[in-house]
Amino acid sequence: MAKIVSRDEVLYHIGLSREMIKDTEYVVLPGDPGRVETIAKQMDENAVHLATNREYTSYLAFLGKTPVLICSTGMGGPSVGIGVEEFAMLGIKNFIRLGTCGAIQENIDVGDIIITSAAVRLEGTSTHYAPLEYPAVSNFSLTQKLVTATQDLTSDYHIGVTASSDTFFPGQERYDSHSGYVRRHFQGSMDEWQKLNVLNFEMEAATLFTICSVFKLNAACICAAIVNRNKSEIPDKSKYDESMRNCITAIGEAIKSDIIAKETAQ
Ligand code: URA
């Protein structure tokens, strides 16, 4: 039986209660705590700060009458896993990750948007929930709404498979690291992912998708490409602001259309 906590219980890691989040069923999940306020204020200029604890910084915004939680997860699977557990205990059902990523296909430019349909599980946290044979897939309906909302925006966008790695350096086959060494297991892996039509690397989608599927919750992921690994190893944030604004707009529209679809279905 799924656990939902009482309205005033403040959960240990995220520092939030159902009362504080106004029983919202939607959370937007950037990795970086420093981006939360900007995201929240673009969605609703009157958005308010709720809590800051470890990597979890949260704001509450309103889209019309619907409250939406924006809460950072920090980097990588473990903190996403803790977050999803506690958000689920607050009754949240829809999880949209908003992140940055490194594109690996030639045709994706810095500043393009990538919407993840499914993720390669190059991480460990999801294996604590389901065996590796279990797919890390996004929720079809939520992802479709993100795609529809992104079609009207100024950024080019791509839909497909993402590789989610526990490490930024060896797992993404980066040699510009402290040791410069990538263990044999990952040597040549970027070339292989390219050939397998993986679009990008990031660090959280597979954990989010797997846990949400296991819990019967809905997850989607939209990212801005801040580097194309075929051209550079150094992230370039020059087009980042515009693509982030577009991602936030797309998320807002997707949530609105999800609310309308659910109201219509009732
Ligand atoms: N985040 C990643 O995990 N990899 C990148 O290349 C860029 C952002």
Residue 203 Cβ < 6 Å to ligand 1: yes
Residue 172 Cβ < 6 Å to ligand 1: yes
| Cβ contact 222:146 at 8 Å | yes
Residue 103 Cβ < 6 Å to ligand 1: no
What's the confidence (pLDDT) of residue 37? 98
Given pLDDT bands bounded at 50, 70 and 90, which one contains residue 133?
Answer: very high
What's the confidence (pLDDT) of residue 246? 98
- Taking the centre of ligand 1 as the mean of its atom positions, its distance from the CA of residue 262, in whole angstroms, is 34
Rounded-to-integer distance, Cα 192 and Cα 173, Å: 11
Given pLDDT bands bounded at 50, 70 and 90, which one contains residue 239?
Answer: confident
Q: Find the mean pLDDT for residues 112-133.
A: 98
The catalytic residue among 18, 97, 158, 174 is: 174
Q: Find the mean pLDDT for residues 122-127.
A: 98
Q: Find the mean pLDDT for residues 100-125.
A: 98
- Taking the centre of ligand 1 as the mean of its atom positions, its distance from the CA of residue 248, in whole angstroms, is 19
Least confident of 140-149, 190-199, 206-215, 231-240: 231-240
| pLDDT over 80 (residue 197) | yes
Residue 240 Cβ < 6 Å to ligand 1: no
The catalytic residue among 97, 158, 229, 253 is: 229
Whether residue 121 lies in the annotated active site: no
> What pTM value is reported for the model?
0.98
What's the confidence (pLDDT) of residue 126? 98
* Domains of the chain, first to last: 26-265 (3.40.50.1580)
Q: Find the mean pLDDT for residues 28-46.
A: 98
Among protein residues, the one with the nearest Cα to ligand 1's atom 2 is 202
| Cβ contact 61:49 at 8 Å | no
Query: Ligand 1 pocket test: which of 167, 168, 239 has the largest number of ligand atoms within 8 Å of its C-beta?
Result: 168
- Please give the structure tokens belonging to residue 129: 């929930």
> 131: exposed, middle or buried (C-beta count within 10 Å: 0-12, 13-18, 19+)?
exposed
Among 26, 98, 99, CA closest to 61:
26
| Cβ contact 180:137 at 8 Å | no
Residue 190 Cβ < 6 Å to ligand 1: no
What's the confidence (pLDDT) of residue 103? 98
| pLDDT over 80 (residue 1) | no
Given pLDDT bands bounded at 50, 70 and 90, which one contains residue 258?
Answer: very high
State pLDDT tens for residues 4-13. 999 999 999 9
Distances (CA, A) of 261 to 22, 94, 202, 266: 21, 14, 30, 9
State pLDDT tens for residues 199-230. 999 999 999 999 999 999 999 999 999 999 99
